Amino acid sequence: MEELRQKLRKVKPEKAIEYQATYLELCRYLDLGTGFYHTIVDNLKIRENIDLDRIGIEVFKNNVNPSATASRSVSKYRRRELTAEYIQRCLIHLGDFARYRETLLDASEKRWEFSRQFYTKAARVYCENVFQQNSLLVFPQKI
């Protein structure tokens, strides 16, 4: 994908056909990637019965209060925690794809709201993953 983005930047304006072909190929990859990660998130939410608005709170509460996991099996808790981490990674990728799509637009059309929403949701889903959080903090400063 990065190769296509670089190629798109280098194509001369007089080569409209080459530019259009590269643009469409990049859009196709963005569509495929977006669909792929949306499918993973949806499948994990359904399979693990996860509410994205509450999972971050559940994981945080269980980490702060270990006795909360005493009534549940540790493996079940760990599975939910791993699922939250996987969903977070997918949301970060979705934010990246949304950001890439915005870079294809004219400056006056760029709003960044979709990428910001994905990154914000990713930060809420799994608060314990500091490494991922750090990459999320960089994005708003670039805009």
What is the domain partition of the chain in residue ranges?
2-142
Q: What angle do CA 114, 1, 127 make, to 5 degrees?
A: 45
**How many residues are listed for the chain in this entry?**
143
Cα dihedral sign for 3, 6, 34, 23? negative
pTM of the model: 0.74
User: Which two three-digit tokens encode residue 82?
Assistant: 């791993």
3-state SS assignment for residue 106: coil
C-alpha closest to that of 89 among 137, 136, 29: 136
59 neighbors 80 (Cβ within 8 angstroms): yes
User: Which two three-digit tokens encode residue 81?
Assistant: 């925690």
Q: How far apart are CA 34 and CA 130, in angstroms?
A: 24
pLDDT at residue 56, as a whole number:
57
Summarize pLDDT for 37-79 with one digit per residue, the tens: 999 999 999 998 888 776 655 655 555 455 554 555 657 778 8
Summarize pLDDT for 92-126 with one digit per residue, the tens: 999 999 999 988 887 777 788 889 989 988 888 87
Contacts 24+ apart (CB under 8 A), 58-66: 59/84, 59/126, 59/127, 59/128, 60/127, 60/128, 63/128
